[in-house]
A and B are shown apart, each in its own frame.
Chain A
């Protein structure tokens, strides 16, 4: 199994509080991604990283920020959590010799966030 760990795995918080989710990998893969998964939707990309300090927005980035100061860590921050951000968040990593989207993704176990 790819070495990806997410923390925390479960979190309940209140509207308006900041939340940070951490993704840690031991594979030295270049690309890292944060997705959210909601019922009736496919996985939706929040942000991604293509190297240390290189990040960009995905399709549902509003209300989220990320940082990648080391190859192995990719942090997702909700500056002021809202109920619409209640979801399951998945981190994924990949490596590709060509375009990033030709590399298979390896997923973390998910972090379930509930915003009350």
Chain B
């Protein structure tokens, strides 16, 4: 059974602080790793799709790294703002089932003003 774990489950961060959280996935059978941001009462929106070991992607104050050999990805947010409050989801795409994405349960980030 493929399992994707995200930690922590929730996180409270002071406005202006930087933070990061983790997505762990099976290191074998890797094809793709996705990150999504999901604001309350909205739909998930894609942040990054990564496919190469060592990949680093950045969008504004948000960045992500990928280590496929050890099976983890980090999402970093620099200088957190209230609008960063959301649940951040990661999803693992296995090589042998290339239509599938296996989703983590998410990290809920709350930014305190």
Of all chain B residues, which has the CB nearest A42?
B103
B4 to chain A, nearest CB (A): 7
How many residues of B are in contact with the other chain, CB < 8 A? Answer: 26
Partner of A107, one of B43, B94, B104: B43
Interface-centre pick from B4, B34, B89 (highest chain A CB count, 10 A):
B34
Chain B 79-113, CB-CB to A under 8 Å as 1, else 0, gives: 00000000001010110011111111110000000
Partner of B49, one of A41, A48, A102, A110: A102
Of all chain B residues, which has the CB nearest A91?
B43
CA distance A106 to B105 in the complex (A): 18
A108 to chain B, nearest CB (A): 6
Partner of A42, one of B49, B51, B99, B106: B106
Of all chain A residues, which has the CB nearest B99?
A100
- Given the known interface contacts A41-B105, A43-B89, A50-B99, the answer about A99 and B44 at a Cβ–Cβ threshold of 8 Å is no
B11 to chain A, nearest CB (A): 17
Give residues 38-76 of A contacting B (CB, 8 Å): 40-45, 48, 50, 56, 58-59
B35 to chain A, nearest CB (A): 10
CA distance A106 to B46 in the complex (A): 7
Contact call A109/B93, Cβ cutoff below 8 A: no
Contact call B99/A105, Cβ cutoff below 8 A: no
- Given the known interface contacts A45-B101, A105-B34, the answer about A110 and B93 at a Cβ–Cβ threshold of 8 Å is no
Residues of B within 8 A of A106 (CB): 46
Residues of A within 8 A of B51 (CB): 102
- Given the known interface contacts A40-B105, A102-B51, A106-B46, the answer about A45 and B100 at a Cβ–Cβ threshold of 8 Å is yes
Interfacial residues, chain B to chain A (CB-CB below 8 A): 4, 31-32, 34, 36, 42-46, 49, 51, 89, 91, 93-94, 97-106
